[in-house]
Amino acid sequence: MKSLQRADVLALKASPSVYLPLADAVSAGEIEGLRPLRVSFLASFTAEPLRPYVVVEATPFGLKTELWFGPFNQFEQQILDARSGAYSAPPDVVVLALRIEEASPAIAGGAIDESVAEQELASLRERIEGMVNGVRARTTAPILIWNFADPYLVGAGLADAILPTPQIEVIQKANAMLAELARSSSGVHIFDARRLAVELGRVHWHDAKLFHMARIPFSPEAQRFIGRRLARYLNALVKAPRKCLVLDLDNTLWGGVVGEEGVGGIALGEEYPGSAYKTFQRYLLSLKRRGVLLAIASKNNPEDALEVLRDHPDCLLRPNDFVAVHIGWNNKAESIAAVARQLNVGIDSLVFFDDSAVERESVRREYPDVLVVDVPPSPLGYIDALEDAGAFDFLHVSIEDRRRTEAYIEQRERDSLRRMATNPEEFLRALEMRAKIGRVDHTTLERVVQLLAKTNQFNVTTRRHDAAAIQRLLDEGAIALWMRLEDRFGDNGLTGVAIAQPLQERVWTVDSLLLSCRIIGRQAERALLGWVCRLVRESGATELRGEYIPSPKNAPAANVFADCGFVSMDDKGSWWRWDCESGDVPETNFIAVELVGG
Amino acid sequence: MDRLKAVVASVLRIPVTSVTDDTSPDVVKTWDSLAHLNLVMALEVEFQIALSPEDAMEMLSVGLIRAILKERGVEILEGGER
């Protein structure tokens, strides 16, 4: 076996006799180029049968998962024991899978009054928080906690729905408690098992025989379903999501060819097949709200296609929903390269969706780093195909994500101002920039981690710290700053991060310094690094060192230390020195800087 | 092809040619309790039947499995069923 593509995996029968031999082959290293991922899995049930499903389903994501399973229903014993198998090989991800049946028999039993429910929830929270802290004390790996599916039995039976405290409500509260715990802890995420059970259906989810024989609660079908979804979470935990979805038009956003059938002749509306395309468009809008950028690469007459986007009453996507539009007769690979240039993102940030197998193949060949979705023949399958590809699986969605398309459209206005300005200074002055800089705390941590994870270009060291690692740096005395930048066209959001830490007595080093590509070339780095210099000097240090680690993409950051008055220490451009006593603090006349919270 | 032998071989990760009616947990090292459950699940999927815990506990050799499947009217040879 040389490879295992998504289409191969989707065709498999959900049976151990199919998945076990394939999982063995993957584990034996038969498929090259996979990234190993160690997962420590603690469960309140027998979870080992999930292994072949997780291993096989994670393969199309380029992952080779190695799972360690804790003994049945042991959490604290394993978590608190530094010599536990959970840590013997340092895990990349720790999964805590509790079912409500084992975690709180009282809640699972149902028909309890509110005060008992509150007590149960409080002790459940205390227990799970203890587990999270226990894991955190021993590893910085992200933690994935299963939320609670409805139990198989409803305690009050048919009457549950009319009780003052229905069981379903208590379980929702328990899940809200888990979500709150995840939001307020670093590197903790929720595996939405509740949603998964609903998707498959409670009747198909549970297997009484397997449960009574071996404490395996799930049917083989459910096991595969869990493995498939878990693979998406693992992928989302370790890889930055893609940024932009490049779409074809004819037979993708609507049925038929607008150039031949005319605006009135295409299928798009409330009747099948037009309703399937409209539903797909609605889904694409939901992706846009998650922060995905939409673009068009279509072979068409621009006038015909734009008429649909502007005027068709059932076209939900309008020209302003797209950050880049390439309609013409260029080949698609050229259009895709143009989108990447225009958005200033790497080609590996793009996803391509086109009903034509020929176009998909040519893009795949030209740009292997673009994720090309296997589009099924029927528009009924479009949404699932895109979801299964996991290209836009965000485990958190920030305010910056939600308004990303607007941000790019503001960027277009900035670009036109830039073209009108006669020199760069005039442009920077005309932007009327204001920066806010503050210390990283729990309200900004997730966004900071997100920027560290995905910023490639203006990033001096490309260190991908997770939340737990930042917390550790802070505990060790580091300074971590965020920066927001506004200008006359809008708020660019939290787009800069700097971390400095003491290296030895009175010598500090810049651990990380990055700017989102949106604000490169605006001297914002001078504002941010300037405050790092000031704060390090105030700490009594004598010297601040800057480090530049070249990557395939971070050339734009190569000169930042030289530009800010640092002196080269090695002639290679790797290490730079700023003297806290004699050095001038980097500044910029174009940005009004405010330090928030002192 | 004998579909029963094929399922047993895949789940226990042994060559299909080595599977006989005498193949049992006593002679095959990989036939542990987890493999036994995997075998039950795989047989249910392959032959579209529901096995009871009692069936599962009696399935202590390939020959015994064959007898249980026969009771259910399952044709084991390829082409026999449907």
Note whether residue A156 is domain-resident.
yes
Report the number of distinct structural domains present in chain A.
3
* Positive or negative torsion for Cα B39, B45, B47, B49: positive
- Please indicate whether, in this complex, the C-beta atoms of B45 and A20 are within 8 angstroms of each other: no
- For residue A459, the domain's CATH number is 3.40.630.30
In A, minimum Cα distance to B9 occurs at A17
Of A185, A220, A238, which marks where a domain is finished?
A238
Of A193, A210, A238, which marks where a domain is finished?
A238
A258 close to A278: Cβ distance less than 8 angstroms: no
- Please indicate whether, in this complex, the C-beta atoms of A21 and B44 are within 8 angstroms of each other: no
* Positive or negative torsion for Cα A561, A563, A565, A571: positive
A248 and A215 together in one domain: no
Q: What's the CATH number of domain B3-71, 1.10.1200.10, 3.30.420.40, 3.40.640.10, 3.40.50.1000?
A: 1.10.1200.10
- Which residues of chain B are within 8 Å of residue A17 when distances are taken between CB atoms? 6-7, 10-11, 38, 42, 45-46
Which pLDDT does position A421 carry in this prediction? 82
The residue with greater pLDDT, A415 or A516, is A516
Position A4 confidence tier, pLDDT thresholds 50, 70, 90: very high
A378 and A406 together in one domain: no
A412 and A349 together in one domain: no
Alpha-carbon distance of A225 to A581, in angstroms, equals 61
Measured in angstroms, the CA of A214 and the nearest CA of chain B are apart by 8
Of A216, A238, A260, which marks where a domain is finished?
A238
SS3 state of residue A83: coil
Q: Which of A64-68, A398-402, A519-523 has the highest mean pLDDT?
A: A64-68
In B, minimum Cα distance to A47 occurs at B34
- Please indicate whether, in this complex, the C-beta atoms of A20 and B6 are within 8 angstroms of each other: no
Instruction: Look up tokens 């001297």; give the residue.
Output: A523
- For an interface test with B, the pick among A17, A204, A225 (most B C-beta atoms closer than 10 Å) comes out as A17
Please, which residues have CB within 8 angstroms of residue A398's CB and are 6 or more apart in sequence? A291, A446, A447, A450
Query: pLDDT tens digit string along B1-55?
Result: 799 999 999 999 999 999 999 999 999 999 999 999 999 999 999 999 999 999 9
A234 and A254 together in one domain: no
Domain of A467 in residue numbering reads as 399-596
pLDDT for A576 beyond 90:
yes
Position A184 confidence tier, pLDDT thresholds 50, 70, 90: confident
A577 and A461 together in one domain: yes
- Which residues of chain A are within 8 Å of residue B42 when distances are taken between CB atoms? 15-17
Note whether residue A495 is domain-resident.
yes
Measured in angstroms, the CA of B5 and the nearest CA of chain A are apart by 11
In B, minimum Cα distance to A48 occurs at B34
A160 and A50 together in one domain: yes
- Please indicate whether, in this complex, the C-beta atoms of A16 and B33 are within 8 angstroms of each other: no
Exposure of A179 in the CB half-sphere (CA atoms within 13 A):
12
- Please indicate whether, in this complex, the C-beta atoms of B11 and A49 are within 8 angstroms of each other: no
| 3-state SS record for A377-441 | CCHHHHHHHHHHCCCCCCCCCCHHHHCHHHHHHHHHHHHHHHHHCCCHHHHHHHCCEEEEEEECC
Query: How many angstroms separate the first and last alpha carbons of chain B?
Result: 15
Instruction: Look up tokens 């694409």; give the residue.
Output: A284
Nearest to A213 among B7, B42, B56 (CB): B56
A412 and A497 together in one domain: yes
Measured in angstroms, the CA of B36 and the nearest CA of chain A are apart by 11
What tokens were used for B27? Answer: 């002679």
Question: In chain B, what are the domain boundaries?
Answer: 3-71
Strands of the sheet with A371-372, listed across from one edge? A322-328, A293-299, A244-247, A350-353, A371-372
Q: Of A523, A520, A541, give the one whose Cα is nearest residue A532.
A: A541
Note whether residue A394 is domain-resident.
no
- Please indicate whether, in this complex, the C-beta atoms of A15 and B46 are within 8 angstroms of each other: yes
Share of chain A above pLDDT 70, in %: 99
A521 and A504 together in one domain: yes
Q: What's the whole-number mean pLDDT along residues A265-271?
A: 96
- Please indicate whether, in this complex, the C-beta atoms of B38 and A16 are within 8 angstroms of each other: yes
The amino acid that residue A23 corresponds to is A
Q: Which residues of A fall below an 8 Å CB-CB distance to B?
A: 13-18, 20-21, 24, 48-49, 209-210, 212-214, 216, 220
- For residue A199, the domain's CATH number is 3.40.50.1110
pLDDT for B82 beyond 50:
no
Position B79 confidence tier, pLDDT thresholds 50, 70, 90: very low
Which pLDDT does position B80 carry in this prediction? 41
- For an interface test with A, the pick among B1, B2, B4, B10 (most A C-beta atoms closer than 10 Å) comes out as B10
Please, which residues have CB within 8 angstroms of residue A83's CB and are 6 or more apart in sequence? none
Note whether residue A509 is domain-resident.
yes
Please, which residues have CB within 8 angstroms of residue A99's CB and are 6 or more apart in sequence? A44, A45, A146, A148, A149, A151, A217
Note whether residue A140 is domain-resident.
yes
Mean residue pLDDT of chain A comes to: 93
Q: CA A387, A33, A239 angle in degrees (round to 5)?
A: 40
Instruction: Look up tokens 């779409």; give the residue.
Output: A247
- For residue A254, the domain's CATH number is 3.40.50.1000
A304 and A362 together in one domain: yes
Query: pLDDT tens digit string along A319-352?
Result: 999 999 999 998 999 999 999 998 888 999 999 9
A379 and A439 together in one domain: no
- Which residues of chain A are within 8 Å of residue B16 when distances are taken between CB atoms? none
B60 and chain A: CB distance < 8 Å anywhere?
Answer: no
Which pLDDT does position A598 carry in this prediction? 64
| 3-state SS record for chain B | CEHHHHHHHHHHCCCHHHCCCCCCCCCCCCCCHHHHHHHHHHHHHHHCCCCCHHHHHHCCCHHHHHHHHHHCCCCCECCCCC
- Please indicate whether, in this complex, the C-beta atoms of B53 and A209 are within 8 angstroms of each other: yes
Which pLDDT does position B78 carry in this prediction? 59
Its ipTM equals 0.92
- Which residues of chain B are within 8 Å of residue A20 when distances are taken between CB atoms? 10-11, 13, 38
A282 and A302 together in one domain: yes
Query: pLDDT tens digit string along A49-64?
Result: 999 999 999 999 999 9
- Please indicate whether, in this complex, the C-beta atoms of A20 and B34 are within 8 angstroms of each other: no
Alpha-carbon distance of A422 to A430, in angstroms, equals 11
